[in-house]
A and B are shown apart, each in its own frame.
Chain A
Amino acid sequence: MSVVRNVELAPPSSRRGLAVLFPGANRWRVPLSVLTLCILPWVLPSQALAVNVLIYGLLAVGYNLLFGYTGLLSFGHAAFFGAGAYATGIAIGTFGVNWFVAMVVGLAVAGFLATIMGMLAIRTRGIYFSMVTLALSQLVYYTALQASSWTGGENGLRGFTVSTLSFPGFSLNFLDPLVKYYAITIVVALALWFVSRALNSPFGAVIEAIRENETRARACGYNVERTKLLSFVLSGILCGLAGTLSAMHLSIVPLDSLHYQTSGLIVMMTLLGGAGSFFGPFIGALAFLLMEDIFSLWTTNWQLIVGVIFILFVLYLPKGIWGTLISWGKGR
């Protein structure tokens, strides 16, 4: 079944084709995105907010690979975010490894979990997929709740900190907010570069074909299940990366980071910004966190306002903020 969601043109693949319509945007999207992220701490009301935009933006970018580009609406991506965070925290707190190894462990665990969950969930289609990913991620949530000797159970994981990032020859003070911000930005920039390459690759073309028309993609000779699984795993690893960064940033992992409400948050951010657009997820994360910041000054029930805004977006602006701007820019 074709899930017709988006909007943004395929990344220009051609000398004569799309590149003509949209020159340069593709080549410059990573540097422009990173540049924008670099100025965030100077324009946002607080640096804490800026770090959250980075981490949740990366989370939404990873999710967008699956939802926006492959057309699969997962409600279980909190599992990979949480798994990355827990694995990193446990690796540091319990096993005392250094920050770099801990990050690799976080990615590996998230990737492993995504492979297992993906293999199960991809056997189902359409709306079923959303329900199954949600339920499987709750399996992870309740497992973490029960395995409290490892995870701290309901209280979340505590007792680990990353205060310096040591490299051969020099080290960075991770407690300095600005150093921390730009250190995370470098990781996010690498991830964006990776995502951009993947989207421009043959694989990127195939996932969009699957989003547009799964039946036809199969008839064209693509192994749809395997491609979806690869997309699911890559997306899971990127969300896991956001999790490891979150753990290192906060020095705690709340149990709720595994809950499907967190998955819902990722979905909302991605859709608000614009699913299937490169920078949209960051815009979505920024919009969501800004709304939280502003509305929570007035009322503790800010989620009511955000929820209503989200509903209005689904009804009237399904392309999201960035996606709508892009289609205006193209004059359609």
Chain B
Amino acid sequence: MTVQLIAMQLFSGLALGAILIMVALGLSIIFGMLGIVNFAHGALFMVGAYAGLYVAGLTGSFWWALVLAPVLIGLFGMLIERFLIRPLYGRSPDDPLLLTFGLGYVLVEAVRILFGTDGIPFSTPAALRGVVNLGIGFFPLYRLFVIGVVLAVLLLLWLGLERTKFGLIVRAGSADPLIMRVLGVDISKLWLVVFGIGVGITALGGVLAAPMRNVSPEMGTLVLAEAFVVTVIGGMGSLAGAVIAGLIVGVAVSMTSLFAPEMATIVMFALMALILLVRPNGLYGRAAPGL
């Protein structure tokens, strides 16, 4: 086992981490602002991948799929917020969770009807095929591209949150929704947009993952569990936490698959259990409200 091999595995761990960040980001954004856990998250990830498949089929271009599918599914997310989730505000916090679980159930079945139950291969766009020599070894170009997109999304999110008026409102709103009412900001519009953005990012994750994972109606089930692991480790609602936790989990999984491949999936859940023992609120989590 050479140093080179380990370095290479470390790098693929970071790449896997980038995908996990993408998987968890939408969940974390929605929780941070609206305080609800979207249990349809995995299903929307899958729907995003299918939307990408559909748009790519229509236009013949991966690039259109990458742009249009997240926008379309983001708009669909806004419809979900407006008509299914909004009636539940003010009720038990469990209700949106139950509803989105049912929604995930419905979405999976709807996709089975529209696209069939079998997995569909999604080919890597020609321009992104092949491998790149990183000096420590060869690495698939497409994975590098994914890392690039994730970095761009994170940068945009950061700029959007820190440098725009909208971002200011979002940050203030997630700190104290009451202040928004006092200031006269229409919080329901804000929640609508934030939910749409969260779902859109989730769908983008689905499109990006499509060439790496087989596109199937069940592809979202693992995604939901992965996203939970990352957000629980990172701390709910914390973007920085999601990034750090994504990278930690990615590297842990990648390193484990080098030494004990059969343990690779198990290790991320075990890691979460360990973090819970030490820091029940996650690495960057705020203390749970309500003493």
With known contacts A135-B269, A146-B266, A268-B102, A127–B113 Cβ distance under 8 A: no
Interchain CB contact under 8 A, A304 and B232 = no
Write the nearest CB–CB distance from B99 to chain A, whole angstroms: 4
| Residues 232-269 of B at the A interface (beta carbon under 8 Å) | 232, 236, 262-263, 265-266, 269
Cα–Cα, bound, A13→B106 (Å)? 42
Interchain CB contact under 8 A, B103 and A139 = no
With known contacts A131-B232, A304-B113, A314-B98, A3–B93 Cβ distance under 8 A: yes
With known contacts A4-B92, A135-B228, A136-B269, A314–B36 Cβ distance under 8 A: no
| Contact mask for chain A residues 299-321; partner B; CB cutoff 8 A; 1 contact, 0 none | 00101101110110011001000
Cα–Cα, bound, A318→B95 (Å)? 8
A96: Cβ under 8 A from any B Cβ: no
Query: Chain A residues with Cβ under 8 A from B94's Cβ?
Result: 3, 5, 73, 127, 130
With known contacts A135-B225, A264-B105, A130–B97 Cβ distance under 8 A: yes
Interchain CB contact under 8 A, B112 and A301 = yes
Interchain CB contact under 8 A, A1 and B36 = no
Write the nearest CB–CB distance from A156 to chain B, whole angstroms: 17
Interchain CB contact under 8 A, B37 and A304 = no
Interchain CB contact under 8 A, B103 and A125 = no
Write the nearest CB–CB distance from A319 to chain B, whole angstroms: 12
B183: Cβ under 8 A from any A Cβ: no
Interface of B is mostly: helix
Write the nearest CB–CB distance from A51 to chain B, whole angstroms: 24
Kindly name the residue among A75, A135, A260, A261 whose own CB sees the greatest number of chain B CB atoms within 10 A.
Answer: A135
Interface size for A (C-beta < 8 A) is 45
Interchain CB contact under 8 A, A261 and B221 = yes
A143: Cβ under 8 A from any B Cβ: yes
Cα–Cα, bound, A261→B103 (Å)? 13
Of the stretches B10-18, B48-56, B71-79, B83-91, the one at the interface is B83-91
B229: Cβ under 8 A from any A Cβ: yes
Query: Chain A residues with Cβ under 8 A from B112's Cβ?
Result: 301
Partner of B109, one of A3, A124, A146, A301: A301
Partner of A130, one of B37, B88, B110, B231: B37
Cα–Cα, bound, A267→B36 (Å)? 18
A110: Cβ under 8 A from any B Cβ: no
Query: Chain A residues with Cβ under 8 A from B139's Cβ?
Result: none
A132: Cβ under 8 A from any B Cβ: yes
Interchain CB contact under 8 A, B265 and A304 = no
Interchain CB contact under 8 A, A125 and B288 = yes
Query: Chain A residues with Cβ under 8 A from B273's Cβ?
Result: 120, 136, 139
With known contacts A4-B92, A138-B225, A315–B236 Cβ distance under 8 A: no
User: Nearest chain-B residue to A140 (Cβ)?
Assistant: B269
Interchain CB contact under 8 A, B276 and A127 = no
User: Nearest chain-B residue to A148 (Cβ)?
Assistant: B262
| Contact mask for chain A residues 71-109; partner B; CB cutoff 8 A; 1 contact, 0 none | 001010000000000000000000000000000000000
A258: Cβ under 8 A from any B Cβ: no
Write the nearest CB–CB distance from A131 to chain B, whole angstroms: 4
Query: Chain A residues with Cβ under 8 A from B110's Cβ?
Result: 304
Write the nearest CB–CB distance from A8 to chain B, whole angstroms: 16
Write the nearest CB–CB distance from B228 to chain A, whole angstroms: 4
| Residues 105-152 of A at the B interface (beta carbon under 8 Å) | 120-121, 123-128, 130-132, 134-136, 138-139, 142-143, 146
Query: Chain B residues with Cβ under 8 A from A215's Cβ?
Result: 290-291
Write the nearest CB–CB distance from A309 to chain B, whole angstroms: 9
Write the nearest CB–CB distance from B30 to chain A, whole angstroms: 11
User: Nearest chain-A residue to B109 (Cβ)?
Assistant: A304
Cα–Cα, bound, A135→B269 (Å)? 6
Top 10 closest A-B pairs, CB basis? A139-B269, A307-B106, A307-B105, A304-B109, A123-B280, A310-B102, A1-B290, A131-B228, A125-B288, A311-B102
25 A-B interface contacts by CB (under 8 A): A73-B94, A73-B97, A120-B276, A123-B280, A126-B93, A127-B236, A128-B236, A130-B94, A131-B37, A132-B272, A134-B224, A135-B272, A138-B225, A139-B266, A139-B273, A142-B265, A142-B269, A146-B262, A214-B290, A259-B221, A303-B105, A303-B106, A307-B102, A307-B109, A314-B99
Chain A interface residues toward B at CB < 8 A: 1, 3-5, 73, 75, 120-121, 123-128, 130-132, 134-136, 138-139, 142-143, 146, 214-215, 259-261, 264, 267-268, 271, 301, 303-304, 306-308, 310-311, 314-315, 318
